[in-house]
Structure 1
């Protein structure tokens, strides 16, 4: 495929079955102005926020509870979630795996731009790993 066309379902199939981090992602677009990626969430994702980007999340598979700025919603395939930087969010409960999300971040979200509401629940290193052959199970 070209550098501008991406097979999201193929990328979803290539995400590892397990991970040491909370999520594993694979970038389609990684530019300063915006990034597009797919990620799989492996365990409940504590409340957190990002300082530098707005996020658009489209749920591809799985189900769970999505928390956004004090409200909770059922996360399910076909749901599009949008929120601005600094809005507290997370997936405090996953009820059906695999929970896979397509994400568009504007501007690009740096991998270390994650702030946990409760710092004891994680940090950037525990949060995310990029999908690479050595990460696949």
Structure 2
């Protein structure tokens, strides 16, 4: 499996979206981004990302609907998702769900926390298809 890992960033706030993208590009990832769930699905079709970083409150299509749609689009590929959330989700670090593993990253987060979460998520073995 050669080449740089592809990451899709879905975040409505342009400053946050570009900050995440710049951080990941500096760390050697290939990054695309979208401001809402509809645009994200278009990017998924085009780029077939290895990982999606998505605001839990993404506009137009919420995060759970986006996860289901991504699973349908990429049937053979279980794409992990890192949800960006404003508050701690009672200590949940990750959840295994149909369509892939889900991680959570609480805002605000540091550059190191972002990169560590991305690397940790990408290094995990994919879940077996059902």
Taking structure 1 as the reference length, the TM-score comes to: 0.29
Bigger share in helix: 2
Larger Rg: 1
Structure number with greater CO (CA < 8 Å, separation at least 6) is 1
